[in-house]
Amino acid sequence: YQQNPKTYAIVKQLLAEGNAGELQKYFGSRMEFGTAGLRAAMGAGISHMNDLTIIQTTQGFCRYLEKNFSDLKKRGVVIGFDARADLSSGGSSKRFARLAANTFISQGVPVYLFSDIIPTPFVPYTVTHLKLCAGIMVTASHNPKQDNGYKVYWENGAQIISPHDKGISQAIEENQEPWPQAWDDKLIDSSPLLHDPYAMVNKEYFKDIQKQCFYRNINKETNLKFVHTSVHGVGHKFVQLAFKAFDLSPPFAVPEQKDPDPDFPTVKYPNPEEGKGVLTLSFALAEKDGARIILANDPDADRLAVAEKQESGEWKVFSGNELGALLGWWIFTCWKNNSRDTRAIKDVYMLSSTVSSKILRAIALKEGFHFEETLTGFKWMGNRAKQLMDQGKAVLFAFEEAIGYMCCPAVLDKDGVSAAVITAEMASFLATRNLSLSQQLKAVYDEYGFHITKASYFICHDPKVIQQLFDNLRNFDGKNTYPKSCGRFKVSGIRDLTTGYDSSQPDQKAILPTSKSSQMITFTFANGGVATMRTSGTEPKIKYYSELCAPPGNSDVEQLKKELDELVNALEKHFFQPEKNKLQRKTE
């Protein structure tokens, strides 16, 4: 018997053809549930996102929550979804969200299911605001259009970290047989356990982010014009509302991209991190309407890219690290000058991930607040921020170089909506001083020291090659020896977060948590350079991140850039060995 005629037909067709290879792909291994939840293509079989795998995942998650919360049936969970859909398999974010809601409601658990598409940050916001046990967001963020995902938040409003992923994974294995009525999502519509938080959150969230609005009068008067694109995702309506909440005139929306479209027809990849290609239509609209600044969200609106027209007429797309420097400077300055927060500066914190620029560390050292680095990923920053807040500390800002920013303590995850409007207020304020964002960025670097960064990746579909590449680095000059140099650059320190080794610690043990399941090595060089190589949790990539930090006063930027370029070339040549390992470069 079949519950989803479309996936059933796909499998039936493969059976009729006797296509063992494809069937093996669909049914050979179950999607792995990790700290980022699930991320895979929509389609048939247990290796894909479909009605059955969503039901099984939610059944496991439900049992795991029952085990952890005696008051689950009193508090409940929140579920949100983006606009993704796949015609061939009949899967869609909305359908998956309804099936998940049905699973919880069948067990007597109250569900706050958003009635319409929302930005991802609205889920963690709702968990915190309504003191719920957990949250689920059905989204694949900026992945290609065939993908979907299932992202999970704990009661503290942050993404889950280990050991919850293992616990949930095990519970999924133990609850694979769909419960009675698991497929009948119409049941939820008449259930007293179903609530719609849409109107409430749309009011309360915008009230909460106004606490970060410090220059309402400037916002009302500014003649700066902004272009906004939501890249066929969910962001349009919410960024419009955020501008209204800050008394800013609405940004010009890129008409071809403002409405949700699961086919993402105008872009190759719906990822604003990919830079200028995604922004082509935004540049055209900005030229037409005389706008100087472009704000671009990814499809689930939890990330933000910013571009600014320079004096020369060229457009500059800020890197995640550059925007992190600007927002960190701005949010600290606003706290210092306007905040009604009575806490002392020693109780103020900013966070960033270990592969992001250390500019916040430089600002913190000079200004006297605390900076901490965490492992890569907002799950770590969100959980750490919550710990600090519970100790009475103020966490003003956290960011990662992958254009993710947490500017507002009401959301313990990256949030592209609040980041967009706070960037717009910062730009409006700077305009009253005749400063552009680029000029202010230079001023920040002049004051705190230049931090030049360069990051890229290689694509590699063969896990064996990746394993070999990292093994080679750990046994570079004979067994258990790391490289002492990279081309002409002398290595002065090594931290390996796969094995837990750190040459700079007295006991040679790394302070940050280690994970054997992912590769990550950081090299420190004698010239002040730092480079990290790591595997991606969600894509077949080996990424690298490099940075040169100069002390304040060293203003020969071109020389620093040249030095970093040479370091990166050496890193690619000696440590990645792309020809030998048949790695595909980012641009190819």
- Can you tell me the mean pLDDT for 95-123? 98
**Residue 342 above 80 pLDDT?**
no
Q: Would you state the pLDDT for residue 539?
A: 81
Compute φ and ψ for 512, nearest 5 degrees: -70, 150
> What's CA 296's distance to the chain center, in Å?
14
What 8-state DSSP symbol labels residue 206?
A: H
* 407-450 tens-digit pLDDT: 999 999 999 999 999 999 999 999 999 999 999 999 999 999 99
Query: How far is Cα 561 from Cα 573, in angstroms, rounded to an integer?
Result: 18
CA angle centred on 203, ends 413 and 128, rounded to 5°: 35
Query: How far is Cα 186 from Cα 239, in angstroms, rounded to an integer?
Result: 32
H-only helix segments in 434-577:
437-448, 463-474, 557-570
Six-digit token string for 545 = 């991140």
**Residue 526 above 80 pLDDT?**
yes
Domains of the chain, first to last: 5-195 (3.40.120.10), 205-317 (3.40.120.10), 321-448 (3.40.120.10), 450-585 (3.30.310.50)
* 52-63 tens-digit pLDDT: 999 999 999 999
Strand ranges for 76-190 from DSSP E: 77-81, 85-86, 91-92, 111-113, 134-138, 147-153
Q: Would you state the pLDDT for residue 517?
A: 85
Query: How far is Cα 425 from Cα 219, in angstroms, rounded to an integer?
Result: 6
Q: Would you state the pLDDT for residue 275?
A: 78
Active site residues: 141
- Can you tell me the mean pLDDT for 271-291? 94
Q: Would you state the pLDDT for residue 339?
A: 66
Q: Would you state the pLDDT for residue 214?
A: 96
Query: How far is Cα 158 from Cα 300, in angstroms, rounded to an integer?
Result: 17
Query: How far is Cα 97 from Cα 81, in angstroms, rounded to an integer?
Result: 6
* 372-394 tens-digit pLDDT: 999 999 999 999 999 999 999 99
Angle between helices 437-448 and 359-367 (to 10 degrees): 60
8 A C-beta contact, residue 355 and residue 376: yes
* 125-136 tens-digit pLDDT: 999 999 999 999
8 A C-beta contact, residue 172 and residue 88: no
Query: How far is Cα 149 from Cα 143, in angstroms, rounded to an integer?
Result: 9
Cα dist from 222 to 149, 228, 310, 340, 424, whole Å: 40, 17, 19, 25, 10
Look up residue 459 and give its amino acid: I
Query: How far is Cα 75 from Cα 69, in angstroms, rounded to an integer?
Result: 9
pTM of the model: 0.94
8 A C-beta contact, residue 304 and residue 295: yes
* 452-481 tens-digit pLDDT: 999 999 999 999 999 999 999 999 989 999
Q: In sequence order, which residues have a C-beta less than 8 Å from that of residue 12 and are 6 or more positions away?
A: none
Q: Would you state the pLDDT for residue 160?
A: 97
Q: Would you state the pLDDT for residue 1?
A: 45
550 confidence band (pLDDT: 50, 70, 90): confident
Q: Would you state the pLDDT for residue 28?
A: 93
Q: In sequence order, which residues have a C-beta less than 8 Å from that of residue 13 and are 6 or more positions away?
A: none
Please give the mean pLDDT across all residues of the chain. 95
Place of tokens 């494809």: 22
Cα dist from 349 to 303, 375, 395, 456, whole Å: 21, 16, 5, 29
3-state secondary structure of 190: helix
Query: How far is Cα 404 from Cα 191, in angstroms, rounded to an integer?
Result: 37
- Can you tell me the mean pLDDT for 72-81? 98
* 12-46 tens-digit pLDDT: 999 999 999 999 999 999 999 988 899 999 999 99
8 A C-beta contact, residue 297 and residue 230: yes
